[in-house]
Structure 1
Amino acid sequence: MLQRLAIPAAKLLRRSSHIVPGQLLVTEHFFQVPLDYANPSASTITLFGRSATKHESPVVPPDEPPSPRPWLVFLEGGPGFGNREPQDHPLTRVALSHGYQVLYLDHRGVGLSTPVSTEMLARLPGAGGGQGPDAVDVQAGYLKLMRQDNTVRDCEAVRKLLTEGLPEHKARWSIFGQSYGGFVSISYLSLHPEGLREVFLTGGLAPVGKSADQVYQATFQRTLERNAAYYQKYPEDVEVLRQIAAYIEKEGGEQGLPLPGGGFLTVPRLLTIGIALGFHGGIDQIHAVLLQLKASLDQLGFLTRASLALLESFTPFDTNPIYAVLQEALYCDGPGSVSNWAAYRVGKALSQFSWLASGNTGASSSVPVDQPLLFAGEMVFPLHFETYPELIPLRAVAERLATASDWPALYDVEQLRKNEVPVYAAAFIHDMYVDYGLSMDTAKLIRGIKTYETNVMYHNALRAKAEEVLQSLFALRDDVID
């Protein structure tokens, strides 16, 4: 059962406004909210957001200041990523043209909202610098507060501050959730629908009521489809990947090749760059990496720093550790729900991904030579906590979270079934990250939802096909179906 807690208004710490090219007035806000809403007086964290509205210079100033525009809050995906600046975001222009002012609010723990890092966790009170028997408990306890339920509470706290003094019908705001931001939005519909005017979702219909195992059983199948598409386009990369893998296993041994910035390159880590297969342009991006690695081996006989640097930053776990640490915790909906490294367990049981269970030096040999090595998708495995320098110290913390069973609930199915907030969702049939079939199961739960479904866009369509996606979403809101 969802825990509904009292939400105090956020405290404004500071703000400053700037006019940027494109006739935008951008304001940077720093807010203070409780770390734990169940114990709001214990400690606080800082939230950061940028708002944008149109900058106007009227020839004749109005006699009275204009009424404030309604808010539209953008919730980024991940979890683990902060927001781009408003002038660089495709939503800004569209939202302003529809009469909103937009707030890009960084989720707690990411961006500039008291961002989580390995050093920050080690410095928590009682964490002992990351060492000692209590460190894991303290750090895991802190990370448990970084999920979508508390992000909803943060949003409500900020909403109460920004709409203070307005009548109830004007104090509601609209939210726009991309990917994980959609998960937050559905928790918002479950926890505090009274704060919402409307909800927009892109690739964000969370798998409500599904276990982590069910999620990865579905997404591994999508990943198989994208691997097939990859090798259909670049069949020569079957042998290219074998050549690169053989070099890594020979020269790197059991630990892997040391990377210039720390950590190690193993064949299993290399195969996790398949996370890009679900993006527009992702197939070509992966091919470009393999092309450079092969060129380095063919021409020089070793992997240059430049070629290895591509792999260090390909998946930003070192700069955005929450993206790895909480990936499976997002699917733990209530007490008794345990992820237990679901992606790893599901994947290694599939013959096509036998490299997951083979160790670093036997990964390529575990796959028959007449079959291609297959890339993984948006999955986090124990191996990530052995090869990324930012994650290596968090291995015990990740294990604690993977085996935790005391998670609070994230969704309220009964509330969703009687939902009264308009919801407009874009769902992508070939989405490798948020499975379309599971998304449609969720759509059936949400009363009154309108969906735009397409088989010609992928998960990052809001960035890659912004005009089409936004036009279709706002048409769901503004148009009628005769």
Structure 2
Amino acid sequence: MVLQRFAIPAAKLLRSRSHIVPGQLLVTEHFFQVPLDYANPSSGAITLFGRSATKHETPIVPPDEPPAPKPWLVFLEGGPGFGNREPQDHPLTRTAVSHGYQVLYLDHRGVGLSTPVSKEMLARLPGSDGPGAVDVQANYLKLMRQDNTVRDCESVRKLLTDGLPEHKARWSIFGQSYGGFVSISYLSLHPEGLREVFLTGGLAPVGKTADQVYEATFRKTIERNALYYKKFPEDVEALRQIATYIETEGGRQGVPLPGGGFLTVPRLLTIGIALGFHGGFDQIHSILLHLKTSLDQLGFLTRASLTPLESFTSFDTNIIYAVLQEALYCDGPGNASNWSAQRVGQSLAQFPWLSKDNDSITSSVAPDQPILFSGEMVFPLHFETYPELIPLRAVAEKLASTNDWPALYDIDQLRKNKVPVYAASFIHDMYVDYGLAKDTADLIPGVKTFETNVMYHNALRAKAEEVIQHLFSLRDDVLD
């Protein structure tokens, strides 16, 4: 499969401003301009936003010459759809700065402060007020995947390292989850720009179809459900009680939520996305406990019990997370997703609630059996229950049926990789399947992997110090 390669111009710096934050950090806010479409640079531009951080130093004696620039480490956030935290709040910053890097937290195109995509923004695109609106919006969103994020990074790199010799102009990248997918695409497209790669839960399923990905992640989700109900057996009945109320009061449309949209039983079951996080079991249990307590004490669901569900998954504020979730697995022409998660889930007896013809979820599951939650999957139901996504249902359908996607990875290039890669891989990862991740690690020469069965997908946040220490040990230490 041939990856499309284009000439990458240096980004244009629109503005930047620095300030000092407690802890001896100098933080700079950057706004860059890059092409919207690298295949057609004259078609328009978008703005990228990033924050850089380095140690703030006050030398006792001013140096005779300005110090040499420190090497860059770029952090690539997960998602897709999420911007970065401020550097002083990120667990990577202190370690990276102490190792001599300056760190750049660059928001992916379409998210954070990088020309963020929203329902209103798409509606204002030229041509979105006519009969071709769906095509216009879908074509714009198709430019928001990891291949173009790589090109954005290269464009920014060329600006920030201008004038440096080639060996000093390379930079390091650190990809978390989807950020790892971007990193593997980077190794495929522009390895010449990379010095080293760090990954946490980000060994993308190279060469695998969306169906293969969801077959694997559904298996792990079933395992996590079993462990959840082992910890909270009382929630078997609690969930059934809540589901019965929703079906009785709201029918197929569901119960209206305070901020818009609807709570259906299927939407409630998608909070299982948290099953794969540290602390996720308790987070789900807390949601169910509040809902059940409201029913037990008052006979209805209060606003206080419903409100946490509106932001449990941030599809309304980060729509790319929903709209492009399956597109990340469409690697080249002929790979339409066709709502892969929905199709795979419907083939599994454990998820009868995904059936289109199922009017009653509670009656479709035996009374003595638990109703299972889903994991990190996006279904058509999301575009029926989230207020920001409802107007985008036709666009989502268009993207699901698209089969002319550009390639994301170059397997031949990956097989001859020479860039060092240091990866943390989690055996019980519910989002990036360990088996598929291992296949990718075996594919790419130079990958050193720290594997563990005592951490989950969000370990970079939950157990940051330990994860980062292991990764830098892979780079700096020896086995013998």
**TM-score range, shorter-chain basis?**
over 0.9
Counterpart of 2:226 in structure 1: which amino acid? Answer: A
The answer to whether 1:143 aligns with 2:141 is yes
TM-score, structure 1 normalization:
0.99
My pick for the range that moved more, 314-323 or 355-364, is: 355-364
Q: Secondary structure at the match of 1:127?
A: coil
2:317 to 316, 319, 340: 319
- Structure 1 residue aligned with 2:280: 282
Check the 8 A contact 1:255/1:360 in 2, yes or no.
no
- Structure 1 residue aligned with 2:74: 73
Alpha-carbon distance in 1 for matches of 2:355, 2:62: 69
Alpha-carbon distance in 2 for matches of 1:157, 1:448: 26
Counterpart of 1:54 in structure 2: which amino acid? Answer: K
Check the 8 A contact 2:247/2:265 in 1, yes or no.
yes
- Structure 2 residue aligned with 1:296: 294
Q: CA deviation at 1:481?
A: 1.6
Q: CA deviation at 1:365?
A: 1.6
Cα distance per residue 1:402-448 (max 9 Å; x no partner): 00001000000010000010000000000000000000001111011
Cα distance per residue 1:219-245 (max 9 Å; x no partner): 000000110110000000000000000
Q: CA deviation at 1:364?
A: 2.0
Cα distance per residue 1:55-111 (max 9 Å; x no partner): 111221111111110000000000000000000000000001111000000000000
- Structure 1 residue aligned with 2:16: 15
- Structure 1 residue aligned with 2:385: 387
Alpha-carbon distance in 2 for matches of 1:358, 1:2: 37
Cα distance per residue 1:337-371 (max 9 Å; x no partner): 11000000000110110111155741222111121
Check the 8 A contact 2:214/2:340 in 1, yes or no.
yes
Alpha-carbon distance in 1 for matches of 2:170, 2:256: 52
The answer to whether 1:60 aligns with 2:84 is no
Counterpart of 1:461 in structure 2: which amino acid? Answer: A
Check the 8 A contact 1:49/1:105 in 2, yes or no.
yes
Alpha-carbon distance in 1 for matches of 2:223, 2:466: 25
1:433 to 431, 440, 451: 431
The answer to whether 1:470 aligns with 2:468 is yes
- Structure 1 residue aligned with 2:188: 190
Check the 8 A contact 2:25/2:54 in 1, yes or no.
yes
Alpha-carbon distance in 1 for matches of 2:51, 2:266: 38
- Structure 2 residue aligned with 1:89: 90
- Structure 2 residue aligned with 1:238: 236
The answer to whether 1:271 aligns with 2:272 is no
Unaligned stretches of 5+ in structure 2?
A: none
The answer to whether 1:171 aligns with 2:169 is yes
Check the 8 A contact 1:35/1:45 in 2, yes or no.
yes
1:319-358 alignment runs, 5 A limit: 319-358=317-356
- Structure 1 residue aligned with 2:376: 378
Alpha-carbon distance in 2 for matches of 1:396, 1:384: 13
Alpha-carbon distance in 2 for matches of 1:357, 1:61: 70
Alpha-carbon distance in 2 for matches of 1:45, 1:279: 34
Alpha-carbon distance in 2 for matches of 1:41, 1:434: 37
1:216-255 alignment runs, 5 A limit: 216-255=214-253
Cα distance per residue 1:260-298 (max 9 Å; x no partner): 111000000000000000000000000000011111111
Cα distance per residue 1:108-141 (max 9 Å; x no partner): 000000000011001001111xxx4200000000
Alpha-carbon distance in 2 for matches of 1:144, 1:260: 32
- Structure 1 residue aligned with 2:46: 45
Alpha-carbon distance in 2 for matches of 1:169, 1:367: 61
Cα distance per residue 1:286-325 (max 9 Å; x no partner): 0000011111111111111111101000000000000000
Q: Secondary structure at the match of 1:53?
A: strand
Cα distance per residue 1:198-220 (max 9 Å; x no partner): 00000000000000000000000
Counterpart of 1:57 in structure 2: which amino acid? Answer: T
Alpha-carbon distance in 2 for matches of 1:412, 1:397: 28
Alpha-carbon distance in 1 for matches of 2:440, 2:20: 41
- Structure 2 residue aligned with 1:461: 459
Check the 8 A contact 1:254/1:360 in 2, yes or no.
no
The answer to whether 1:118 aligns with 2:119 is yes
Aligned length: 479
Check the 8 A contact 2:352/2:358 in 1, yes or no.
no
Q: Secondary structure at the match of 1:408?
A: coil
TM-score, structure 2 normalization:
0.99
- Structure 2 residue aligned with 1:309: 307
- Structure 2 residue aligned with 1:365: 363
- Structure 1 residue aligned with 2:443: 445
Alpha-carbon distance in 2 for matches of 1:239, 1:361: 20
Counterpart of 1:389 in structure 2: which amino acid? Answer: P
Q: Secondary structure at the match of 2:41?
A: coil
Check the 8 A contact 1:92/1:102 in 2, yes or no.
yes
Q: CA deviation at 1:168?
A: 0.4
Check the 8 A contact 1:268/1:360 in 2, yes or no.
no
Q: Which runs of 4+ in 1 moved over 4 A?
A: 358-361
- Structure 1 residue aligned with 2:155: 157
My pick for the range that moved more, 239-248 or 55-64, is: 55-64
Alpha-carbon distance in 2 for matches of 1:368, 1:424: 46
Counterpart of 1:262 in structure 2: which amino acid? Answer: G
1:121-136 alignment runs, 5 A limit: 121-128=122-129, 132-136=130-134
Counterpart of 1:13 in structure 2: which amino acid? Answer: L
Counterpart of 2:479 in structure 1: which amino acid? Answer: I
Cα distance per residue 1:5-42 (max 9 Å; x no partner): 00000000000001011111000000000000000111
Check the 8 A contact 1:199/1:424 in 2, yes or no.
yes
Counterpart of 1:203 in structure 2: which amino acid? Answer: G
Counterpart of 2:178 in structure 1: which amino acid? Answer: Y
Alpha-carbon distance in 1 for matches of 2:153, 2:360: 47
Check the 8 A contact 2:79/2:178 in 1, yes or no.
yes
- Structure 1 residue aligned with 2:210: 212
- Structure 1 residue aligned with 2:396: 398
Q: Secondary structure at the match of 1:41?
A: helix
Counterpart of 1:5 in structure 2: which amino acid? Answer: F
Q: CA RMSD in A?
A: 0.8
